[in-house]
Amino acid sequence: MNVMYFAWVRERIGLPQEEVQTEAVTVADLVAELTAREDRYAAAFADTSALRVALDQELSDFDAPLAGVREVAFFPPMTGG
Amino acid sequence: MTVRVQAAAFDTGAELNAFVKDRTDVGAVVSFTGVVRDTDGTLHQMEIEHYPGMTERAIAEIVTQVQSRWALADVLVIHRHGILAVGAPIMMVATASAHRADAFAAADYLMDYLKSRAPFWKKETTADGTAWVAPKDEDEAALKRW
C-alpha cells in the first residue's frame, strides 16, 4: 500500500510517501512495523495521540482495519483556516 | 457551490463581488477572510502544506453538511497552499441566503470545520527558524458547539 506522511511527520521520517508491503491487520500494527524499522520512524510515531490517520483519504483511527485500503496517510492535527 | 484549493493569491473583494453578481434571490451574504498574522513582528512567511485529493474531498463534505443544515443559495470556499507573505489572505468563505441567520451560522460552521478537519498544516518561519503551528484545544472544542 501507499503510505504518506505530512508536515512534521514527513520531516521526521524524511520522505513524503513510500510503497510498503505489509501484512498488518490494523493501523496500529502498521505503526508498530514501521516503528521497528529505524529510529526516524520511531521518532515520528513516538506519541500516536499527537497523530491523525486517514485511510483512502477519509479520517480514521489507529484501531481501524487495513483490509482493502490502498492509501494510508499519517499527519499531525490539522491547522487549516 | 465553488471550492478552490490553490497556490495563487486571490483578491477577496473581487471574489466577493463575483459571488454576489447578478443574484436577486438572496438577502444576506456573509464572508470571512483568514489572513497571515504577524503577532509580534518576527514572522517572515507562512507555508501551508496540504494533502491533494483528500483536501478537496474533506472540504466538499463540510460544504455538503452546511448545505443540509441551513437554507443557502450559494457557498464559496477558497484556500491557498504554498508560501504566503505576511498580511496575505490565506483563505475565504462566503455564504449567501435569504436571511442573515443562515448565512452567519453556515460561515461560522465552515470555519470551525475547515480549521480542524481539512488537511492543511501551517508552518511559520521567523528569525528563530521554522515551527509547525500547533492546533489550539479550543479549535477542537469549537466543533462540539454544532
Distant-in-sequence, close-in-space partners of A55: CB < 8 Å, separation ≥ 6: A27, A64, A66, A69, A71, A72
Q: How many CB pairs under 8 A join A and B?
A: 68
- Chain segment B88-127, per-residue pLDDT in tens: 999 999 999 999 999 999 999 999 999 999 999 999 999 8
- The CATH number of the structural domain formed by A2-75 is 3.10.20.30
Rounded to the nearest angstrom, the minimum Cα separation between B114 and chain A is: 6
ipTM given for this complex: 0.95
Q: Is A6 exposed, middle or buried (0-12, 13-18, 19+ CB in 10 A)?
A: buried
Test A77 with B79 for CB contact under 8 angstroms: no
Nearest neighbour of B119 by CB, restricted to A8, A10, A75: A75
- Chain segment B68-90, per-residue pLDDT in tens: 999 999 999 999 999 999 999 99
Domains and CATH numbers, chain B: 2-143 (3.90.1170.40)
Rounded to the nearest angstrom, the minimum Cα separation between A65 and chain B is: 19
Cell of B33: 477572510
